C-alpha cells in the first residue's frame, strides 16, 4: 500500500530521516513514537504529500505520490492534523460531509457513510449543532468523523487522542483497530500503553536521524524506548519486555 524507498528529510537544516525505507500494507496499524521535534509530524505530512523531501521515493497503491492529482491522492490518503482551526460556522453534519469532497464525482450516495461516521464518533445527537459551539473533545470527534467519511485506504492520524476523555479513547482505539483490518493506519502518539495494546507495527525516532521500524514485539522494547527517550523508564510502563 505504501512503499518508501531511500527517503531523506530535513527540517530547518536538521536531518530527520536518512535513507529511510519502509513498506506498509493494508491490515496493519502503525504507531509513530519519538520525542517532541523528532520528526513524527514531518513524516506524516511527507506521506500525505504535503511536505517536500530531499531524496527518495514514496508510492501509494503503486503510484508515485508526487505524480498524483489532489483528488486522487485524497481518495487514497487522509490526514488528521494535530491541531485544526474551526474557521467555518457550519453544523456538525455539514462539517463531516466535507470529508466526501474527494468523491464528489462519484454517483454513490454519501449520506449513509456520513451517518455511519457520525454514529461511530457518538455525534448523532449533535448533528445539527454549530461546530463553533462545541467543546474541544467534541470538535476532535468531528475531525475524526470527517476522516472516517473520507474513507481512504490510508489514514494518517496525528495524535488523534488529543482532547478526548479516557472512555472514548478506548472506544476510538478499538474502532481504529477494527478499521485497520481493511486499511493501512499510521498514528502519531505518545501513549505507549495504547500502542502496545492496539498497534501491530511501530516507527521509533531515536534521534540523530536514526529511525527503527518493525513489528511491535520486535521494536517496542525497554532498551529501544530508553534509547529513544534518553532515560530509563519505569518497568511497569511496558508489559512483557
CATH number at residue 7: 3.40.50.300
In order, the DSSP letters of 124-187 are GGGTTSBGGG--HHHHHHHHHHHHHHH--SEEEEESTTTT--HHHHHHHHHHHHHHTTTSEEEE
- Split into its structural domains, the chain has a count of 1
CB atoms within 10 A of CB 16: 25
Inside any domain, residue 199: no
CA distance linking residue 32 with residue 39, whole number of Å = 10
Residue 55 lies in a domain: yes
Q: Is residue 211 part of a domain?
A: no
Check whether 214 has a pLDDT greater than 90.
Answer: yes
Position 144 confidence tier, pLDDT thresholds 50, 70, 90:
very high
Give the pLDDT mean for 64-76.
90
Which of these ranges, 7-21, 57-71, 140-154, has the smallest mean pLDDT?
Answer: 7-21
Does the pLDDT value for residue 241 go beyond 50? no
Residues 207-225 have a mean pLDDT of 90
Amino acid 181: pLDDT: 96
Question: SS3 of 204, please?
Answer: strand
Domain carrying residue 166:
2-190
CB 162 within 8 A of CB 140: yes
pLDDT at 141 exceeding the cut of 90: yes
- For residue 109, what pLDDT is reported? 52
**Of 230, 59, 88, 217, nearest to 146 (Cα)?**
88
Give the chain's mean pLDDT.
Answer: 90
Q: Quickly state the pLDDT bin for 84 (edges 50, 70, 90).
A: confident
At residue 18 the predicted structure's pLDDT band, cuts being 50, 70 and 90, is confident
Q: What is the mean pLDDT of residues 133-153?
A: 95
pLDDT tens track for 157-197:
999 999 999 999 999 999 999 999 999 999 999 999 999 99
> What Rg, from alpha-carbon coordinates, does the chain have?
18
Q: Per the domain annotation, does 85 fall within a domain?
A: yes
- Which is more confident, 233 or 171? 171
Q: What is the predicted pLDDT for the residue at 13?
A: 76
In a domain, 28, yes or no: yes
pLDDT in tens, 87-137: 678 999 999 999 998 887 665 558 899 999 999 999 999 999 999 999 999
**Residue 198 domain-assigned?**
no
Res 54 pLDDT > 90: no
Q: Which residues contact 31 (CB under 8 A, 6 or more apart)?
A: 186, 187, 188, 189, 195, 199, 201, 202, 203, 216
Q: Is residue 204 part of a domain?
A: no
Q: Are 185 and 157 in contact (CB under 8 A)?
A: yes
Let me know if residue 62 belongs to a domain: yes
Amino acid at each position: 500500500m505504501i512503499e518508501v524507498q531511500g527517503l531523506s528529510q530535513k527540517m530547518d537544516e536538521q536531518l530527520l530521516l536518512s535513507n529511510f525505507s519502509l513498506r506498509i500494507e493494508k491490515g496493519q496499524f502503525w504507531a509513530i513514537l519519538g520525542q517532541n521535534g523528532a520528526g513524527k509530524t514531518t513524516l506524516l505530512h511527507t506521506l500525505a504529500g504535503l511536505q517536500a523531501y530531499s531524496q527518495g521515493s514514496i508510492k501509494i497503491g503503486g503510484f508515485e505520490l508526487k505524480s498524483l492529482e489532489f483528488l486522487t491522492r485524497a481518495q487514497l490518503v487522509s490526514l488528521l492534523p494535530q491541531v485544526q482551526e474551526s474557521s467555518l460556522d457550519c453544523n456538525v453534519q455539514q462539517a463531516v460531509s466535507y470529508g466526501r469532497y474527494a468523491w464528489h464525482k462519484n454517483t454513490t450516495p454519501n449520506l449513509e457513510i456520513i451517518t455511519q461516521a457520525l454514529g461511530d464518533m457518538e455525534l448523532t445527537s449533535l448533528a445539527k449543532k454549530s461546530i463553533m459551539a462545541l467543546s474541544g473533545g467534541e470538535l476532535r470527534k468531528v475531525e475524526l468523523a470527517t476522516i472516517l467519511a473520507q474513507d481512504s485506504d490510508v489514514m494518517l492520524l496525528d495524535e488523534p487522542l488529543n482532547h478526548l476523555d479516557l472512555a472514548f479513547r478506548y472506544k476510538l482505539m478499538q474502532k481504529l483497530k477494527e478499521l485497520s483490518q481493511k486499511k493501512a493506519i499510521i498514528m502519531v502518539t505518545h501513549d505507549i500503553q495504547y500502542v502496545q495494546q492496539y498497534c501491530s507495527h511501530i516507527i521509533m525516532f531515536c534521534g540523530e536521524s536514526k529511525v527503527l521500524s518493525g513489528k511491535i514485539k520486535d521494536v517496542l522494547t525497554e532498551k529501544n524506548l530508553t534509547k529513544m527517550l534518553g532515560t530509563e523508564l519505569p518497568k511497569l510502563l511496558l508489559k512483557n519486555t
